[in-house]
Structure 1
Amino acid sequence: MNGTVTTSKVRLATRESMLARVTSIVDAYTSPHERLNLEELALRTGLPRSTTHRILLEMVELDWLMRHDRAYRLGPRALGTVGPEVAQAHVRIAANDIIRELYLRTGMVIHLGVLHGRHEYFLDKMGGPLAAALRSRVGARFPAHRGAGGRSMLALLSPEEVDPMIERNLAAVPSDDPRELDALHAELARIRTSHGIAYQSTGRVPGFGSGRISSLGCAIRTPDGAVVSLCVAGEAEKVHLDRVTPLVRKAADDLAAAV
């Protein structure tokens, strides 16, 4: 019995210690919009650099912090809001007319996504019959490295930012090839030299021609540091890349100006 009580006390002390560390990181900020890097946070909290880095990764994943380049700022949970759909509501509103116009000009399925931890979070979706056949839905999360929209957002980050995010995604699927990370970095480098446009061709969707889907994504960074993408998807044999690519690029530029 005493051993059980002792173990419980140790676990409780550990949780309290972690809570104290998280609290010290939040308290390190002097304003809601302040951005602090790893070294500054470690200095202000007095925590070891390695410990601070580990906690920061978890806090970003759970929305307590948001990452911007090599700095961190308070996230929606710390500021009293929960979830990217709340934090990025202004982006969805600003994108509404842009998404509609892009749909009318391309006839393709349009996705509006935001980089949320290591996932792409779908803020909006618009399209015809193909939209209902695609598994994506508003409010759903998708591993960021799996889709064109997610990859376009990852291309705005540095390799050092991408590695811990995607390593966790790969670890979550044991069948994934570890070498995929190297291939992803090569793909992100190509996207950066291709005006930020990411391309992808995916497998069968029954009832639509050959069943293959082609998609194009382009991302922007908003003034508050969020990474947002516009992605279009359509039947591969009907997608004309030379016509669609500049339309997606312009829509992304319009969204950047609107937010």
Structure 2
Amino acid sequence: MTSCRQVVPLFVDLAAHPVRWRLLNELSGSDYRVRELVTLVGEPQNLVSYHLRLLRNGGLVTATRSSHDGRDSYYHLDLDRCTETLADAGAALHPALQLSTAPTTFDPAGSLAVLFVCTGNSARSAIAEALLRHHADDRVEVVSAGSRPKPAMHPNTVRVLREEFGIDISDRSPRHLDTLDDHRFDAVITLCDKAREVCPEFGDDPRWIHWSIPDPAVSGDTHKDSYPIFRATATEIDTRIRYLLPVLTVGGR
């Protein structure tokens, strides 16, 4: 009897190598630069870069230029794509192993405090604060702030939250990081490459996460021109928050 040779599912093929698995594991929690991943996985830079290229070619990892240092790049794990390829791998082995494509539910154990940081606190971090509060339904204390806050919220921040998510933040103003010196946080999430470098230390060893997301406010000549960029940014932040929620528990990664 002649058997047909089956193609190994994409996720299995990419994740089976120990270095690639470690890279996926590190990137599942935060965006990193190559030199940071070299330190985290303990492998030479040329080897790390080689495996990152394979993960990028497979669509599991993307890279964006740093908005702080354009010579550098941040790598990001596409968790939606991972979910899809994991589901495909299960179904390829047996129909009964078809996996759910939705992130797991959020059930925090105890009180949690989360801080979102960007430079101006008028777009990305404000959007993240509003969306986490919306999804967590007041089960998380969430705050956002900026290293150099703008005088007011960007009009498209207010608009995109109202039109796409039904959230009203029209009465909110940007906050300075200095006002939070005496606060403690379980997780500090930077959404701006520049703010990541200047964010102060907070006590009690919080979980540090970085999301390298370009500032939507620098695109377009008018508020009308930049609105599609704000909508795409809000969608990306919402996706990241949905995958963040399951790990925002005591003892989570």
Q: Give the TM-score normalised by structure 2.
A: 0.28
Higher strand share: 1
Q: Give the TM-score normalised by structure 1.
A: 0.27
Higher helix share: 1
